[in-house]
Amino acid sequence: MDIYILRHGKAEENTPEGGDAARRLTKKGSEEILGVGLFLAAQDLEFDLIAASPLARAQETAAIIAGVLKYKKKPASWNVLVPGGEPDAVCHEISRHGKPSAILLVGHEPLLSSLISRIISGTEDAGIAMTKGGLAKIRDVSFTQRPSGELHWLLTAKQMTLRK
């Protein structure tokens, strides 16, 4: 299985109306994520599953990607993808969904860097840093004994727009 891990796009500052959970993407953030979606479409990717944190900015990010890729289902909302989530909980949730060939997870830092690290190195600190709109591809992911996989690439939103 290949796992694609995407950090949400640039979001507005905290809003008094809903706090952190209600923060939405800025116009620039939405545009960058659209560029990420076009990059993914150029790869001819079809995801078996798209899952995102329930926070507004991650849900918006997932919806933009799903729209560009013509994903036929509504992206799943996973509480394990919230900012304070645990990498092992995310791995467990993924393993509950059988053996999809490709999935996309949309979430937040520091969870996403820790998740990538956990899968590729067995620890939660392999020196990975995800920028807003950044995307990682981990190939040949397995959860048989412990999470394992190979980091194929880690790109910023800007790099993906330059590669059109």
Full set of structural domains in the chain with CATH: 2-162 (3.40.50.1240)
Q: What was the pLDDT predicted at 126?
A: 84
Calculate the average pLDDT of the chain: 93
104-133: average pLDDT? 94
Contacts of 20 (CB under 8 A, 6+ apart): 14, 55, 83
Q: What was the pLDDT predicted at 39?
A: 96
Q: How many CB atoms lie within 10 A of CB 132?
A: 21
Q: What was the pLDDT predicted at 91?
A: 94
Residue 2 has pLDDT above 90, yes or no: yes
Proportion of the chain above pLDDT 70, given as a percent: 98
Q: What was the pLDDT predicted at 77?
A: 98
Contacts of 68 (CB under 8 A, 6+ apart): 34, 37, 38, 40, 41
Lowest mean pLDDT among 94-98, 114-118, 129-133: 94-98
Q: What was the pLDDT predicted at 163?
A: 56
Lowest mean pLDDT among 6-15, 52-61, 65-74: 6-15
pLDDT in tens, 9-28: 999 987 767 788 889 999 99
